[in-house]
Amino acid sequence: MMDTRLFKLGVAALFCLMTPGLFAACHNSVVLVHGNTGSPSDFDNTRIELLARGYPAGQIFAPDWGSKLCAACNDHHGSEEIPVAEAIADAVEASCTGKIDVIGHSMGATLAARQIMVLEASAQVDTFVGIAGAFRGLWSCGSYPFNVMTSTCGAGGLSVNSPLVNSLKGQHFAARMYSMKSWIDQINCAGGLCTVGGVHTSSIDGEDGSLSYALGHFGLLSQTAVDQVDLIQ
């Protein structure tokens, strides 16, 4: 008589072969980095979209960084770095592909980019998406070292030609890099000045593409979840 256990195992194996669509596909882990004084919940729409497309919740990482009460106190060094660096490392470890995708908004985009360089993790990053980042600096912060009033605008911040901003120029943070930007961004285009050296500050050197929207600084994050996930797939 056939062993009942062997029969059950055989049926289970046949079921797996015949119904591959029932099993989750292997996805890159994803790191979502919020902006200055923001929170992980700022990416709720993106998280919902990722889950809807079959990404496991355990492969979505959203570090919480920086002071929530003092925007001018946050920069790209020190305590701000730690949660982002840990999230990137944890995402790589959890990834079933060995690769990750990183999406950052505003100052979270430049913070994530810097941590990828510090960790020498660019080879593990498949796609980097910078949403409303200030990769070329902010004229509202002045031009380094002049008119630099706060940490956010200082040497480790986003004044034009700051050491931080210059350290990101010409770098590759991933195999593919994309920016998402707006010409009516009330933060990056304060006073109507969106460009640095004739290029939109949200554009990334060597990027593979850039999407422009008629949205404000925060709408660029909350209203583009479908496009964000399209870019990393």
3-class secondary structure per residue, 143-204: ECCCCCCCHHHCCCCCEECCHHHHHHCCCCCCCEEEEEEECCCCCCCHHHCCEECCEECCCC
The pLDDT score that the predictor gives to residue 219 is: 98
The pLDDT assigned to 11 comes to 41
pTM of the model: 0.89
The answer to whether position 21 is within a domain reads: no
Domain tally, the chain: 1
163 found inside a domain:
yes
Residue 77: which domain range? 26-232
With respect to residue 133, please indicate whether it lies within any of the assigned structural domains. Answer: yes
Work out the angle at residue 119's Cα, subtended by the Cα atoms of residues 116 and 122, and round it to the nearest 5 degrees: 45
* pLDDT for res 3: 52
Position 113 in a domain: yes
State the pLDDT at residue 24.
59
Within a domain: 180: yes
- Return d(Cα 35, Cα 42) in angstroms, integer: 9
Q: Give a yes or no: residue 19 inside a domain.
A: no
Q: What local confidence, expressed as pLDDT, does residue 168 receive?
A: 98
Would residue 105 count as lying in a domain? Answer: yes
Per-residue pLDDT of the chain (233 residues), as tens digits, is 445 444 443 444 444 344 444 455 899 999 999 999 999 999 999 999 999 999 999 999 999 999 999 999 999 999 999 999 999 999 999 999 999 999 999 999 999 999 999 999 999 999 999 999 999 999 999 999 998 889 999 999 999 999 999 999 999 999 999 999 999 999 999 999 999 999 999 999 999 999 999 999 999 999 999 999 999 99
In this structure, what CATH number is given to the domain that contains residue 176?
A: 3.40.50.1820
15 is a domain residue? no
- Looking at residue 16, its pLDDT comes to 39
